[in-house]
């Protein structure tokens, strides 16, 4: 049993002009596929993990044999992070957050603009490659955080509500070195219905 590449839930050009077609082709078919392939290779050496979901493997790195742990952190992280990323974007998206997640964001961050500023600043401030996140932390509170490389907040006991990829491969073809411009434009492709569904699921999981 090996994990599989989730198909993009929309066309490669669906996120234009904010994320262009070529970026999506390379990002999904090459980058995500490469993380998946290396994750599966590593897991081939740990058959005892075969019954677990990819997320559960990332939630419990202590159960991953040390000989493959770095490969799992990098490539398992890359696998689950990108699966989340495709899921929470879409065409005809953006706007203000709706549903319970909208209320929760206002309660914690004051208003949507303050939240976006905090998230964008964390993304711009992540040195080198990484991700910026909205998580439900161990205590059940929404928080903005960032991680280097493909590290996932799941490994720190948090639940991932949404995240933006700030690796150069996510934006360089369109935005070149202008990461803050990419971060600002990205909100136009956020599918709040999906984010809200992840928030509901995360709350249930944390109890
Ligand atoms: Mn990426």
pTM of the full structure:
0.97
pLDDT at position 207: 78
Q: How far is the CA of 106 from the centre of ligand 1 (A)?
A: 29
Q: Which two three-digit tokens encode residue 7?
A: 């198909």
Q: Which two three-digit tokens encode residue 143?
A: 């928080």
CA dist., res. 175 & res. 171, Å (int): 6
User: What structural domains and CATH numbers belong to the chain?
Assistant: 21-87 (1.10.287.990), 99-206 (3.55.40.20)
Q: How far is the CA of 85 from the centre of ligand 1 (A)?
A: 9
182 Cβ contact list (under 8 Å, min separation 6): 166, 170, 171, 174, 175
Q: Note whether 129 and 145 are within 8 A (CB).
A: no
Q: How far is the CA of 64 from the centre of ligand 1 (A)?
A: 23
Q: How far is the CA of 82 from the centre of ligand 1 (A)?
A: 6
pLDDT digits (tens, 9 = 90+) for 84-108: 999 999 999 999 998 999 999 999 9
> How many Cα atoms are found within 13 Å in the side-chain-facing hemisphere of 124?
15
Question: Which of the four pLDDT bands, split at 50, 70 and 90, describes residue 1?
Answer: low
- Surrounding ion ligand 1 within 5 Å at CB are 165, 167
Average the pLDDT over 174-178 and give the result: 97
């Amino acid at each position: 049993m090996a994990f599989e590449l989730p198909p993009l839930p929309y066309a490669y050009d669906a996120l234009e002009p904010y994320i262009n077609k070529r970026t999506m082709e390379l990002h999904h078919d090459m980058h995500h596929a490469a993380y998946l392939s290396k994750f599966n290779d590593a897991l081939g050496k740990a058959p005892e993990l075969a019954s677990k979901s990819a997320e559960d493997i990332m939630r419990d790195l202590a159960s991953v044999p040390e000989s493959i742990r770095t490969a799992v952190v990098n490539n398992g992280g890359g696998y689950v992070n990108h699966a989340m990323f495709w899921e929470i974007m879409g065409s005809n998206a953006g706007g203000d957050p709706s549903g319970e997640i909208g209320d929760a964001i206002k309660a914690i961050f004051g208003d949507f603009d303050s939240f976006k500023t905090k998230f964008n600043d964390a993304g711009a401030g992540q040195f080198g490659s990484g991700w910026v996140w909205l998580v439900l932390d161990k205590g059940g509170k929404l928080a903005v955080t960032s991680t280097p490389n493909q590290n996932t907040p799941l490994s720190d006991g948090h639940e991932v509500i949404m995240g933006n990829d700030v690796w150069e491969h996510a934006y360089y073809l369109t935005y070149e070195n202008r990461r803050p411009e990419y971060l600002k434009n990205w909100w136009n492709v956020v599918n709040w219905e999906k984010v809200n569904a992840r928030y509901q699921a995360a709350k249930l999981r944390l109890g």
